Amino acid sequence: MIKIIEASFVTSAPSIELAPPSDTMEVVFLGRSNVGKSSLINALTNRKNLAKKSSTPGKTRLINFFNILFTKDKERFNARFVDLPGFGYAKVSKQELAKWQKSLNEFIEKREAIRLFVLLVDSRHPDLEIDVGVFEHVNSIKRADQEIIQVFTKIDKLKQSELALIKKMDGIPVSVLKQKGIEKLTKEIFKTLYGEIND
């Protein structure tokens, strides 16, 4: 059984230059503002308030780093989770927004330690142009040692018929509220970082 047994905040940084040393395999969580990135990190790590969540979009303005400890059987495995500011948040000046997007792009493209991009998409709006665009962008810059996992968030808000459609799509449906898909995602993350698992 794969578990995350420890999680701790490392630091926040506005840009790749000020990020901590790129010495631990990183899992980057990205998606539109309010899609549920911080809530998902809290659910995966079983912590209420590790990553700050809020009902105000754009709460996460810095790149936040968390050290993670997985266990499998009795072995321990290190990783780092990275909570990125949500894109598409408009309540800042155009100039600030542009600066922000530039540093996000730089981080995504140049950060050595990234092994996995977890792309969050609101399950109620699975085909938004902005999400498709981000998927294609990440896919186009992705190195040979990097993977993408798509996650459909907030599935507790779906009708049965909508859920059936989401389940046919390429991604992991999750609900933090109903604790759905969290274990599966934990396993998938572990598998991309550390290879096949038999449990």
Ligand X SMILES: Nc1nc2c(ncn2[C@@H]2O[C@H](COP(=O)(O)OP(=O)(O)OP(=O)(O)O)[C@@H](O)[C@H]2O)c(=O)[nH]1
81, 154, 173, 185: residue in contact with ligand X (rule CB under 6 A) = 154
Q: In angstroms, how far is CA 74 from the centroid of its own chain?
A: 26
- Token readout for 7 is 């999680």
Pairing of strands 147-153, 172-173: parallel
Nearer to Mg ion, 60 or 123 (CB): 60
How far apart are alpha carbons 132 and 139 in whole angstroms? 10
Nearer to Mg ion, 56 or 143 (CB): 56
2, 25, 27, 34: residue in contact with ligand X (rule CB under 6 A) = 34
Residue 130 touches which member of Mg ion, ligand X, none, C-beta under 5-8 Å by kind: none
Q: Site residues for ligand X, window 46-75 (CB under 6 A)?
A: 53-55, 57-60
Q: Nearest distance from residue 40's CB to ligand X, in Å?
A: 7
Nearer to ligand X, 69 or 182 (CB): 182
Which residues does residue 78 pair with via DSSP β-bridges, in sequence order?
69
Letter string b/e over residues 75-112, b meaning 16 or more CB atoms within 10 A of that residue's CB: eeeebbbbbbbbbbbeeeeeeeeeebeebbeebbeeee
Nearer to ligand X, 10 or 62 (CB): 62
Pairing of strands 63-72, 26-31: unpaired
Q: Nearest distance from residue 136's CB to Mg ion, in Å?
A: 23
How far apart are alpha carbons 92 and 141 in whole angstroms? 27
Q: Nearest distance from residue 105's CB to ligand X, in Å?
A: 16
Q: Residues interacting with ligand X, by CB under 6 A?
A: 31, 33-39, 53-55, 57-60, 86, 153-154, 156-157, 175-177
